[in-house]
């Protein structure tokens, strides 16, 4: 536990820099960038951090920003993502997105501002740091899993532990929540194309209608979800069913698409085999029909918090925030999973408010009132770190 006097000093410093962090967060919000194209976002962050003694490192993907504060051979990594998503913002905030069709709907603007704040504060308290802290501002968390590439490029090779947060609607504002073990899911997408044979709707015997077979597959997948997958904390949800375009034409194909999530790394292959079997059974009942399955598990690791990482987050939270032990993992995916592969650490949720708009909604806007609590968490994790 941190010394209460040190906590007071940290809180005072955080209050001082809060207006600057809110301003940075809103600037990032109004000029969102997606994927690996976060060059201007990292430039904004670097401009704020240039007044610290941060030792900047060469970027690994061009648009990332990596810097260190402190001394010593023990290194801990703090990671924030900073990419936005392709989504039209529907609110009329004064700092609303200036880029049509792109917005910060996942709160990565808040994550980036919080980690910037932690670097500003820890720079002032660097003589108290028991370890070197590596700050990683990462692009491409959404859809392209750039965290995996950052790890493959060695961003954390010499780090003993890694920590990250995600703002979370539904939890009281400023509260901290996590658990030991799997916390965010692994997963990806699937696409099944059922190939029949097109003909006139009035002469179905002249063709092969792919729709009944596709419907059987979709129903089978629902059964799979309700039984074996649910028992194994996993899912394969059908979200798209597309076929046909006119009332009197039997189409050539029917396409089913959806999302796959699981918490146990080995389950991806097992789910793929189960879906393939289900498809084989459905097509066996209809002569001349065939089906292709594309199964793409792009986030193939779940976020697994280590015991030590979980306890560090819990202890840091108890210095200043409401602590909520998470009752179950979330089925959302996070490429922070790769930072924790073979390394101590944890990901935790920072409550944005109980009735807060959902992540990825068109009215989502990170809650500036919790930035201070997020900064304090990283400061406490760093200053109280025990190798």
Summarize as ranges the residues that interact with Zn ion (CB under 5 A).
Answer: 106
Smallest distance, Zn ion to C-beta of residue 108, A = 6
| Distances, alpha carbon 6 to alpha carbons 3, 163, 167, 319, 383, in Å | 5, 21, 26, 11, 10
What per-residue string of b and e applies to 29-38 under the rule 16 or more CB within 10 Å gives b?
bbbbbbbbeb
Q: Which is nearer to Zn ion, 24 or 106 (CB)?
A: 106
Going by their DSSP bridges, the two strands 181-184 and 186-195 should be labelled as unpaired
Smallest distance, Zn ion to C-beta of residue 73, A = 32
Identify whether the C-beta of residue 121 lies closer than 8 Å to the C-beta of residue 70: no
Q: Which is nearer to Zn ion, 107 or 220 (CB)?
A: 107
Smallest distance, Zn ion to C-beta of residue 182, A = 17
Reduced to 3 states (helix: H, G, I; strand: E, B; else coil), residue 371 is helix
Q: Which is nearer to Zn ion, 107 or 196 (CB)?
A: 107
Smallest distance, Zn ion to C-beta of residue 111, A = 8
Q: Which is nearer to Zn ion, 80 or 118 (CB)?
A: 80
Q: What is the DSSP letter of 84?
A: B
Q: What are the phi and psi torsion angles at 238 (to 5°)?
A: -75, 120
Q: Which is nearer to Zn ion, 105 or 282 (CB)?
A: 105
Q: How far apart are the first and last CA of the chain?
A: 15
With CB atoms as reference, the residue minimizing the distance to Zn ion is 106
Smallest distance, Zn ion to C-beta of residue 327, A = 21
Give bridge partners of residue 193 from the DSSP assignment: 255, 292
Smallest distance, Zn ion to C-beta of residue 81, A = 6
Q: Which is nearer to Zn ion, 106 or 278 (CB)?
A: 106
Q: Which is nearer to Zn ion, 254 or 304 (CB)?
A: 304
What per-residue string of b and e applies to 232-254 under the rule 16 or more CB within 10 Å gives b?
ebbbbebeebebbeeeeebbbbb
Identify whether the C-beta of residue 110 lies closer than 8 Å to the C-beta of residue 374: yes
Smallest distance, Zn ion to C-beta of residue 334, A = 7
- Helix locations, 161-293, DSSP H: 210-224, 230-231, 267-284
CA atoms of 157 and 75, how far apart (whole Å): 10
Q: Which is nearer to Zn ion, 68 or 109 (CB)?
A: 109
Smallest distance, Zn ion to C-beta of residue 336, A = 9
Q: What is the DSSP letter of 294?
A: E
């Amino acid at each position: 536990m941190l010394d209460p006097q040190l906590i007071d000093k940290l809180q005072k410093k955080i209050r001082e820099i809060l207006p600057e962090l809110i301003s940075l967060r809103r600037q990032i919000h109004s000029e969102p960038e997606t994927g690996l194209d976060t060059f201007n976002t990292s430039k904004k962050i670097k401009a704020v951090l240039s007044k610290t003694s941060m030792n900047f490192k060469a970027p690994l993907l061009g648009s990332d920003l990596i810097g260190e504060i402190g001394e010593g051979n023990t290194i801990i990594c703090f990671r924030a993502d900073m990419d936005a998503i392709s989504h039209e913002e529907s609110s009329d905030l004064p700092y609303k997105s200036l880029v049509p069709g792109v917005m910060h709907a996942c709160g990565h603007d808040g994550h980036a501002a919080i980690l910037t704040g932690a670097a500003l504060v820890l720079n002032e308290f660097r003589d108290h740091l028991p370890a070197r802290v590596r700050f990683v501002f990462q692009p491409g968390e959404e859809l392209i899993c750039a965290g995996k590439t950052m790890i493959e490029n060695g961003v954390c090779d010499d780090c003993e532990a890694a920590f990250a947060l995600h703002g979370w609607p539904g939890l009281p504002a400023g509260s901290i929540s996590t658990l030991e073990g799997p916390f965010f899911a692994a997963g990806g997408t699937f696409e099944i194309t059922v190939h029949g044979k097109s003909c006139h709707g009035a002469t179905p015997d002249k063709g092969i209608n792919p729709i009944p077979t596709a419907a059987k597959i979709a129903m089978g997948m629902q059964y799979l979800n309700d039984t074996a997958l649910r028992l194994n904390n996993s899912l394969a949800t059908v979200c798209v069913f597309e076929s046909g375009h006119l009332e009197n034409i039997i189409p050539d194909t029917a396409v089913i698409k959806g999302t796959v999530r699981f918490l146990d790394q080995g389950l991806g292959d097992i789910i793929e085999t189960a879906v393939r079997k289900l498809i084989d059974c459905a097509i066996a009942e209809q002569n001349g029909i065939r089906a292709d399955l594309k199964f793409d598990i792009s986030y193939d690791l779940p976020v697994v918090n280590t015991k030590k990482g979980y306890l560090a987050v819990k202890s840091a939270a108890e210095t200043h925030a409401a602590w909520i032990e998470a009752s179950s993992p979330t089925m959302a995916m996070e490429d922070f999973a790769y930072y924790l592969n073979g390394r101590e650490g944890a990901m935790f949720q920072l409550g944005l408010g109980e009735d807060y708009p959902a992540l990825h909604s068109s009215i989502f806007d990170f809650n500036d009132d919790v930035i201070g609590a997020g900064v304090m968490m990283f400061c406490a994790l760093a200053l109280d770190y025990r190798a």
